[in-house]
Structure formats: structure tokens, C-alpha cells
């Protein structure tokens, strides 16, 4: 995978996170019915959308948020406990897992293995002599290191 492709994948992963938050913040019932009619039960994976569809989806969600369309939450029965919030629900943690291309909630051994594999692939020293690729590799390496440190703090506390 080229460095440019890696940067695009990171951007799409962050976009998926934004789409998830937009869906949680609420789109009105018509938007939910449109999504179900297209075959999706919820938020679509941004990597499966074309650039045009992605732009349309972002604009549609932006307009829904501007209209103030909040979904009505169904009333919870008093006997059911509230849903547990996990640390994997934290936005920074989700972004860190996405940057390392591993599922949220993975253990530290998996995080370390993914970090090392990606650093072997995108280390700036491997691209010496090509300034543009070295700059891109440095950016990717910094993002990977930041994600690793975030997950290290989260998983080892």
C-alpha cells in the first residue's frame, strides 16, 4: 500500500468516526428510512462509497443536523440497566484503533503487533532520497506513534 493510499485510508477512517457520531447525534426518521431502503441498517462504511456518494452523504447529514432533526429515543423500561459506556467509545481511542487498522477493543499485544508492522512499512528512513515520500512517511509515522501512545496509556492503566 502506498503512502498516499495510507493517508486516504486514515482520512476515511476518521470520516467513518464522524459519520458514526452524526448518526448518534441524530438524523430524522426519514433519513433512517432512506438508509434502510438503500440496504444499510445504519451508518454506511465510507470506504464503500464513491467520492460523489460520500459528498452527498455528508451534505445530507449536515442538512439534517442544521434542521435540528433529533431522533426520538425509545423509552427504556425501568428494569433494564442503562447501556454501559466503555472506554472504546471514547473518540480518541476509536481514532487510535482506526489509525492502527485494528478492531476497537483489541488487547495490547495486538496493538503492539499492528504498530510494529505498520512502522516497518512506513518508516521515514525507508524513503530517504525522495523528499515528498519521506515527508508523507514522517506524517504517517507520527500519527501511528501518537495512536500507539494513546492506546498504551489506555490499556496499561
Q: What is the CATH number of the domain that holds 115?
A: 1.10.287.110
81 within domain boundaries: no
Q: Does the pLDDT value for residue 141 go beyond 70?
A: yes
Please give the mean pLDDT across all residues of the chain: 75
Tally of structural domains, the chain: 2
Give me the pLDDT at residue 81, please: 57
**Domain end marker among 66, 100, 118:** 66
Domain extent for 17: 3-66
Give me the pLDDT at residue 27, please: 52
Give me the pLDDT at residue 76, please: 53
- Of 113, 111, 133, nearest to 124 by C-alpha is 133
Q: Does the pLDDT value for residue 42 go beyond 50?
A: no
Tell me: do 98 and 41 sit in the same domain. Answer: no
Tell me: do 47 and 98 sit in the same domain. Answer: no
More confident of the two residues 7 and 114: 114
- Of 53, 46, 7, nearest to 23 by C-alpha is 46
Strand residues in the chain grouped as ranges (E): none
**CB contact set of 8 (below 8 Å; sequence gap of 6+):** none
pTM of the model: 0.47
Give me the pLDDT at residue 61, please: 75
**CB contact set of 121 (below 8 Å; sequence gap of 6+):** 1
Q: Which residue matches cell numbers 472506554? A: 87
Q: Does the pLDDT value for residue 72 go beyond 50?
A: no
79 within domain boundaries: no
Give me the pLDDT at residue 86, please: 53
Amino acid at each position: 500500500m502506498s503512502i498516499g493510499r495510507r493517508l486516504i485510508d486514515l482520512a476515511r477512517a476518521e470520516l467513518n468516526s464522524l459519520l458514526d457520531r452524526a448518526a448518534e447525534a441524530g438524523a430524522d426518521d426519514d433519513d433512517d428510512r432512506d438508509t434502510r431502503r438503500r440496504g444499510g441498517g445504519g451508518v454506511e462504511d465510507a470506504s464503500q462509497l464513491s467520492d460523489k456518494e460520500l459528498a452527498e452523504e455528508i451534505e445530507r447529514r449536515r442538512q439534517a443536523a442544521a434542521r435540528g432533526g433529533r431522533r426520538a429515543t425509545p423509552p427504556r423500561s425501568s428494569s433494564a440497566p442503562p447501556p454501559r459506556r466503555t472506554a472504546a467509545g471514547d473518540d480518541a481511542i476509536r481514532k487510535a484503533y482506526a489509525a492502527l487498522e485494528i478492531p476497537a477493543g483489541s488487547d495490547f499485544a495486538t496493538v503492539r503487533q499492528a504498530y510494529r508492522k505498520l512502522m516497518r512499512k512506513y518508516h521515514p528512513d525507508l524513503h530517504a532520497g525522495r523528499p515528498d515520500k519521506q515527508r508523507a512517511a514522517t506524517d504517517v509515522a507520527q500519527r501511528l506513534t501518537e495512536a500507539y501512545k494513546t492506546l498504551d496509556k489506555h490499556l496499561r492503566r
